[in-house]
A and B are shown apart, each in its own frame.
Chain A
Amino acid sequence: GDSVTQMEGPVTLSEEAFLTINCTYTATGYPSLFWYVQYPGEGLQLLLKATKADDKGSNKGFEATYRKETTSFHLEKGSVQVSDSAVYFCALSDRGNTGKLIFGQGTTLQVKP
């Protein structure tokens, strides 16, 4: 079945460092891809999404490009801040059927001043 694999965490960076969180997926159809973020004590928030190959999703300085040839959707940010410390989830949506989200296991990011 469809699945999402994220890089293991935790990821610890200094403020203003470059961030990459790897995400790869397996899907039989043409899913939409998402990054959700979960700040401490809060619910999941949509960070960005891409609905077709070569689309780039972006929000709050974060970017991810839908790469069909490598089945990847890596999350990047050029300069992280302490406030970016959170758990990041990559997910795909099975648009062909129920539209449910299938999540990766999450990657914890800690940014130190």
Chain B
Amino acid sequence: EAGVAQSPRYKIIEKRQSVAFWCNPISGHATLYWYQQILGQGPKLLIQFQNNGVVDDSQLPKDRFSAERLKGVDSTLKIQPAKLEDSAVYLCASKGGGAFTDTQYFGPGTRLTVL
């Protein structure tokens, strides 16, 4: 079974530029998460999708971050404009099964550096 795919793996941009990350979850997984992991910290949830609907985006800085999951499969996360404090690893995770399945599977992440 293929795992969660993410691209690009690394991205370096100047502040105020825009950037987009892509995630392809495990086939058949209805739930998709985006987490932000700042160096030296644990991942923190940015947004959660159930199929193509948003379940939780309470921690997403909506003035600059946006995310979508068209057709309930792939997802993109965008930052526009980027700030220095957005430098982090952006992790995508997916979860399948029913309400009592709680194991999330993570992709390799995208390391973003904002200069």
Which of the segments A13-21, A59-67, A69-77, A90-98 contacts the partner chain?
A90-98
Contact B106 A45 (CB under 8 A): yes
User: What B residues does A99 contact at CB under 8 A?
Assistant: 31, 48, 95, 102
Contact A101 B108 (CB under 8 A): no
CA distance A69 to B41 in the complex (A): 27
Q: Is B107 an interface residue (CB 8 A)?
A: yes
Chain A's closest residue to B3 (CB) is A43
CA distance A106 to B43 in the complex (A): 9
Q: How far is the CB of B26 from chain A (nearest CB, A)?
A: 13
CA distance A51 to B103 in the complex (A): 10
A106 with B41, Cβ < 8 A, contacts A43-B107, A99-B95 known? yes
For A45, A95, A101, the residue with the greatest tally of chain B CB atoms inside 10 Å of its CB is A101
CA distance A34 to B107 in the complex (A): 17
CA distance A88 to B51 in the complex (A): 30
User: What A residues does B42 contact at CB under 8 A?
Assistant: 4, 89, 91, 103-106
Q: Apart from A44-B106, A46-B103, A93-B102, what are 18 other A-B pairs with CB-CB below 8 Å?
A: A32-B102, A36-B106, A43-B108, A44-B43, A44-B91, A89-B42, A93-B104, A95-B100, A98-B56, A99-B31, A99-B48, A99-B95, A100-B48, A101-B33, A102-B45, A103-B42, A104-B42, A105-B40
